Structure 1
Amino acid sequence: MDLQEILTLNVYVVLMAFARVGAAFAFMPGIGARTVPARARLIFAFWVAVVISPLAGPLFPPQPADAPSLLLFIGYEVTVGLFFGLFGQVMMAGLQTAGSIIAYLSSMANAFTADPLSGAQSAVTGNFLMQVGLVLLFATGMDHLMIQAVFESYSLFPPGGVLPVGDMSEFFANALNDSFIIAAQLSAPFLIVAICLQIALGLLNKLMPQLPVFFVAMPIQIALALLLLTLALPSMMMVYLGYFENGLEAFLNP
């Protein structure tokens, strides 16, 4: 794209594309993190909007003559972008939920660290899984797939159309359900080991009531959880990457 093409761009089309892309990038995993400066995020979203505007331009309705109609179109685009960005956050929340379950099962529920992505305090295992998952998303090119999914969303949500509130609500509810399912799947090995350990500790407590089972079990639980996390982490991340990719494919054209 040379300078002449940039100067002849339709400002209305770029504004409409920026409304959707900017809203999506505000919550998109990695790009929408709190550690990313807002100015850098907006500049990146603007240039993505400039790049996709020639392709998405024919899909936009003619520029409305009055301001209320223009604001209505912009609100539609912002809503669709927020829907896509929050969907990415829901998929990332599966890792945080799995880490919280692992923390509770391994006696590390009180070990909190600050999440650099959201700034909130959460379990150390959840933050670890989030960091590993985010690095793998960018290392495997999933960030390009997210940007492509934002562009492909124009075929699912044509600009100027009627917002399918019912379908969006159902899709978001299913996404929340799938997020909890993937969290349960990722933490399933730890749940099985924790159940077996609790049964063994219960039998030990019956055989030796004077033994302080709680103080004896805590180091064992932490050691087993760290060992199992070391062994199962590659498989967990492969399962999660497949889940994330399948989720983005819902926005891509077949």
Structure 2
Amino acid sequence: MIEEAYVLLTAWQAALWHGFLVFVRVSTAVSLVPAFGQSFVPPRIKLGVAFAFTMIVAPAIPAFDAPEPTLPSTAWFCLTEACAGLIIGVSLRMFILALQTAGSIAAQSTSLAQLLGGAGEPMPAIGHLLMVSAIALAFTMGMHVHLAGMFIGSYMLFPAGVFPVAEVLAEWGVSHIASAFALAFKLSAPFILVSALYNLMLGVINRAMPQLMVAFVGAPLITFGGLAILMLTAGTIITVWWSLFEAFMINPAEGML
């Protein structure tokens, strides 16, 4: 009877140790991923989401080759798992930052930067609209399922208890950040093109008629043009963003583009 109780206690201790290590990685990533990691999401909701993902991921991960849960081993594994979760969370967060940057570029190009600014997170209204739309589409398309698969597959890229190689991580991180800014520029390209044509047209008119206040005449035109372009391209922008985001969650070893 005592031996059976000891075996059961040992199994429970191993299961709790295993689940705790998974929770450290998952909770760190959940605090940064799009949707779940937004600033307007309460911390208790984030904690509940992290616990739910832990219940999904932990049974799918083989038992770690880890020593007994002593203070040094606990500190070491907490540090490595938090580092892995931070890398995962930041890499996913770059997608929402790319979308917000695209919205800021579009708003600055079309003189809409101050329209309804500061809704939720401090950003122009176009960036906020694109971000909310992208999050809604991501949930509709099953982002949580892809996230669970990415968390499970992350143990192949970042084994438990092992720090990532600094050189590889630096090269991958720099390329990922560069791809994020390139993506932001590509998504906002229609607004930049229209802004360039608008300013060129104003320059020609001002050269031909210096007495005319072309800035006041053209302000309603660029505002209407920016809103019209947003109406025509918002669906395409969100669709392209989701396709890249989904591809990255399926294969995070590849870059963003």
Change (3 A) 1:100 1:65: closer
Change (3 A) 1:26 1:115: farther
Distance in 1 (CA, whole Å) between partners of 2:90 and 2:115 is: 27
The Cα shift of 1:159 comes to 0.8
Distance in 1 (CA, whole Å) between partners of 2:58 and 2:82 is: 16
The Cα shift of 1:173 comes to 1.4
Q: Which amino acid aligns with 2:147?
A: M
Distance in 2 (CA, whole Å) between partners of 1:137 and 1:89 is: 13
Distance in 1 (CA, whole Å) between partners of 2:208 and 2:91 is: 51
Which deviations, in whole Å up to 9, do the C-alpha atoms of 1:173-217 show, x marking residues without a partner?
111111111111111111111111111111111111111111111
Which residue in 2 is equivalent to 1:151?
152
CA contact (8 A) 1:152 1:252 kept: no
Structure 2 residue corresponding to 1:66, chosen from 63, 70, 78:
70
When normalised by structure 2's length, the TM-score is: 0.88
Change (3 A) 1:239 1:114: same
The Cα shift of 1:35 comes to 2.2
Which residue in 1 is equivalent to 2:215?
214
Which residue in 2 is equivalent to 1:17?
22
* Structure 1 residue ranges (4+ consecutive) displaced by more than 6 angstroms after TM superposition: none
Which residue in 2 is equivalent to 1:35?
40
Residue 113 in structure 1 maps to residue 114 in structure 2: no
CA contact (8 A) 1:112 1:121 kept: no
The Cα shift of 1:55 comes to 2.3
Which deviations, in whole Å up to 9, do the C-alpha atoms of 1:101-146 show, x marking residues without a partner?
1111111123352243xxx321111111111111111111123212
The Cα shift of 1:13 comes to 0.2
The Cα shift of 1:223 comes to 0.3
- Superposition RMSD in Å: 2.0
Which residue in 1 is equivalent to 2:169?
168
Distance in 2 (CA, whole Å) between partners of 1:115 and 1:85 is: 24
The gaps in structure 1 that reach 5 residues or longer are none
CA contact (8 A) 2:57 2:151 kept: no
CA contact (8 A) 1:23 1:85 kept: yes
Greater CA drift, 123-132 or 107-116: 107-116
Distance in 2 (CA, whole Å) between partners of 1:162 and 1:206 is: 62
Q: Which amino acid aligns with 1:97?
A: T
The Cα shift of 1:43 comes to 2.1
The Cα shift of 1:38 comes to 1.1
Greater CA drift, 244-253 or 233-242: 244-253
Residue 132 in structure 1 maps to residue 113 in structure 2: no
The Cα shift of 1:252 comes to 7.6
Which deviations, in whole Å up to 9, do the C-alpha atoms of 1:9-65 show, x marking residues without a partner?
71100110000000011111111122222122212212321332222142x123336
Structure 2 counterpart SS, 1:121: coil
Q: Count residues with an aligned counterpart.
A: 244
Identical-residue share of aligned pairs (%): 29
Q: Which amino acid aligns with 1:76?
A: T
Distance in 1 (CA, whole Å) between partners of 2:28 and 2:119 is: 22
Change (3 A) 1:54 1:142: closer
Residue 96 in structure 1 maps to residue 100 in structure 2: yes
CA contact (8 A) 1:186 1:236 kept: yes
Which residue in 2 is equivalent to 1:187?
188
The gaps in structure 2 that reach 5 residues or longer are 1-7
